[in-house]
A and B are shown apart, each in its own frame.
Chain A
Amino acid sequence: MSEQKNPEATQEVPKRTSAKKWTESARKVRGLVRDMYVRAFTEGKPVAWVMFTLVNELFVAMDVVPVYPENFAGLCATKRVGNPFIDRAEADGFSNVSCSYARIGLGYAALWKDMGEIPSFAPDGGMAKPIMMVGSSLVCDTRYKWFQTYSRYMDVPYYAFDMLGPPASTAYRPDVREQYIKYNLAQLQGLVSFMEERLGKKMDWDKLDEIVRRGEKTYVLWYDAYMLAGGAVPCPFPAEDSFNCFFPAFFMMGEVEALDFYQGLYDEIKYKVDNKMGSIPEEKYRLLWGGGLPPWHTMQIFNYVEEQGAVFVFQSTYLPLRFADVPDRITDPLERMVHSRYEAAISRAELDRKLGLFDLCNFVGLGNPLLFVDEFKVDGVVMHWLRSCRGTTIGQVYQKNLLEERTSIPTLFLESDMCDVRDYFEADWKVKLSAFLETLEARKRAGS
């Protein structure tokens, strides 16, 4: 593959909107993000635009540089340059309530096509030209058509696959497990065939096996680091850092750098926990970000509550997957991938089932807030209603009601969007957050 030109965006960002980072590990993430985009231009390897699908290992094994439009959208929002892309996508008829991750990527592709070059304000030089698009059904319903539409703008082939998890009520049945694993395995086999055809080379199964096993270790470190931090008092790793540090797990899985990152994160958190090192000076209120994607356009809002003595000790949106040990008898790396992801999905379904909750689905975990308020000594829960993300907003009222029924922990709903800053009203957020903290104080005084 020939090297692509990286246009190096230089536009000034009007003001800082990102949050202060409390850990060394979180401070490293920005460099990893930039590297992903730069590598796609400079390494001369084929590039794929990929939806977050838990299959990054396949791209690493095939020497493809995966670029994730969902991450790019979040990056654009953080830099407050997402809305010109959104406007362009809406001009092509995409609804203003369709996923803003999708709208930013679609607007980017449309503007590139209009201008014949990457828009100069694209952060980190933008997303390099792909040779394939890979989408999946994981998490939300926008996903199939989203990447299919990219493929039309960019004129490259597209492959979509399923990654299904079971409903809680049937997750424990062996026959259900067998069928799901069989189906998901066939889906991944189809994806490998597509990649082989597109790249003109065969998968190196030994290499994939090594990468998958490295990924398994990485997932465990990710999970252990996050859980260790969540329960620690004082909190060493607030949610804004946690929202940063999922990046290697989602977008670099299988790479040596991802494993090293989570080893480093675990060690850093362990050191801070052992030495009772928190983030803010006086931790008066412990909050849980209990649902909804974060406001990438204004992550500084997390520092706003910290100024008032509150800290989000955990976020249950990008929850690490709890990987069970894959049995040694499973030697096929694809089967190992499918097995571990299925087990991770049913661990959440199983939790919901034990809590007697509504049988919504697999990867979501309705019981998460309920579990974490107790485990992580939480005083209040904040959830984010997202105008353009049904996948992470659905179930929030149910979760709030559950918290009211089974605990005395109050919930605050905030309303905006993960990327579309037009839906964000800062004064409203600040008033609601401050009032929520005043309410927590009143409850503490009353001893409830």
Chain B
Amino acid sequence: MAFFAGIDVGSVTTKVVITRDSELTAYHVVPSGANYKMAAQKAMEEVLAKAGLSLKDIACIVATGYGASNADFATLKVTDISCCAKGVNHLFPSVRTVIDVGGQASKAIRVNEEGRSTNFVVSERCAAGSGRFLQIIARVLQIELGDVGPLSLQAKKPVIYTTSCAVFGESEAISRIAEGTPKEDILAGVHNAMALKIYSLISGVGLEEECAIAGGGALDVGLIKRLEEKLGVHLLVPPQPQIMAALGAALMAEERSLALAS
């Protein structure tokens, strides 16, 4: 049985997944940095080393993400919207709505039973509702990104943000710090603003249970709590939510090989 790979060259991190017989064999995540080509190369080399494989063991590679064209070793490219739908569907076949909170943009995707996207909405060209917003606020508050979620859960009186814009949001956070507002209340306010923005995206495709969340933003327990409150549903979270598009890409590589073989 052959191995397959999917690589998601995102704006913040590059994720690569190797599958065999539709099961996860190995995955790896590296920062994308300022050179997507180098990041794609590095991610692939390192995941192959992890799995004890070489490139010739991989029957087909699908690339996705904003920097997909930099993965010149890939066999074909598919959009991250379709790949994310496929990856989530593999883990949660009953899910019909997928939220993807990425570093560059957030997306709401309607998924059919085959794991294909049948409708989607992507956030406009701004950082509102995306992982970038969280990064900016974490920097302002001088905390690690991984601490944002747990700290937000401790909020007693979340601030009310008047904007979901990352630029104005940064100014607002600074104003709140100056007023002496606790960090956890600021973070919970940010999560509420993001949840509102994502809620508006979901309105564009329609919320249907079951609903799952993927992307790096799904690692943030604070955001998930606020989103669940806003949407009124329980969100399914994959064990490694940030690799869903790469997983979907690997599954598509497998599908393609099977189709060619038949």
Binding site for B on A (CB under 8 A): 385, 410, 413, 415-416, 423, 425, 427-428, 431-432, 434-436, 438-439, 441-443, 445-446, 448
Contacts and interface: CB of A to CB of B under 8 A. Distances in A.
A428 B105 contact: yes
B66 A415 contact: no
A431 B118 contact: no
B229 interface: no
B79 A442 contact: no
Interface string B188-220: 000000000000000000000000000000000
B82 A438 contact: yes
Contacts of A432: 122
B116 A445 contact: yes
Interface in B89-124: 105, 112, 114, 116-122, 124
B125 interface: yes
Contacts of A442: 82, 112, 114, 116-118
Interface of B: 66, 78-82, 105, 112, 114, 116-122, 124-125
Contacts of B117: 435, 438-439, 442
B116 A431 contact: no
A431 to B, nearest CB: 5
B125 A443 contact: no
A434 B79 contact: yes
Contact of B66 (A385, A431, A436, A445): A431
A439 B120 contact: yes
B251 to A, nearest CB: 14
Contacts of B116: 438-439, 441-442, 445-446
Contacts of A425: 125
A398 to B, nearest CB: 14
Contacts of B66: 427, 431
A439 B122 CA distance: 13
Given A439-B117, A442-B116, A431 B125 contact: no
Contact of B119 (A385, A413, A439): A439
A438 B125 contact: no
A423 B66 CA distance: 18
A395 B117 CA distance: 26
Nearest to A436: B120
Nearest to A433: B79
Contacts of A434: 79
A330 B114 CA distance: 63
A428 B125 CA distance: 8
Given A410-B119, A442-B118, A431 B112 contact: no
B81 A435 contact: yes
A237 B94 CA distance: 43
A297 to B, nearest CB: 15
Contact of A438 (B79, B112, B114, B122): B79
A431 B114 contact: no
Contacts of A423: 125
Highest count of chain A CB atoms <10 Å: which of B114, B118, B121: B118
A432 B119 CA distance: 11
A428 B105 CA distance: 9
Contact of B79 (A385, A416, A435, A446): A435
Contacts of B82: 435, 438-439, 442
A431 B124 contact: no
B125 A446 contact: no
A246 to B, nearest CB: 28
Contacts of A431: 66, 79-81, 122
Q: Which 4 A-B pairs have the closest CB atoms?
A: A442-B116, A435-B81, A435-B79, A438-B82
Given A427-B66, A443-B118, 19 more contacts: A413-B121, A415-B124, A428-B105, A434-B79, A435-B82, A435-B120, A435-B122, A438-B78, A438-B79, A439-B81, A439-B117, A439-B119, A442-B82, A442-B114, A442-B117, A442-B118, A445-B116, A446-B116, A448-B118
A438 B81 contact: yes
Contacts of A445: 114, 116
Contacts of B124: 385, 415
B128 to A, nearest CB: 13
Contacts of A428: 105, 122, 125
Nearest to A428: B125
A10 B125 CA distance: 34
A423 B125 CA distance: 8
Contacts of B122: 428, 431-432, 435
B118 A446 contact: yes
Nearest to B80: A431
B79 A415 contact: no
Contact of A446 (B81, B105, B112, B121): B112
14 contacts: A423-B125, A431-B81, A431-B122, A432-B122, A435-B79, A435-B81, A435-B120, A438-B78, A438-B79, A439-B81, A439-B116, A441-B116, A442-B114, A446-B114
B125 A415 contact: yes
Contacts of B112: 442, 446
Nearest to A442: B116
Contacts of B125: 415-416, 423, 425, 428
Contacts of B118: 410, 439, 442-443, 446, 448
A415 B122 CA distance: 11
Which residue, A385, A442, A446, has most C-beta atoms of chain B within 10 A? A442
B219 to A, nearest CB: 22
B248 to A, nearest CB: 12
A435 B120 CA distance: 8
Interface centre among B78, B79, B81 (most CB of A within 10 A): B79
Contacts of B79: 431, 434-435, 438
B221 to A, nearest CB: 28
Nearest to A397: B204
Nearest to A412: B120
Contacts of B78: 438
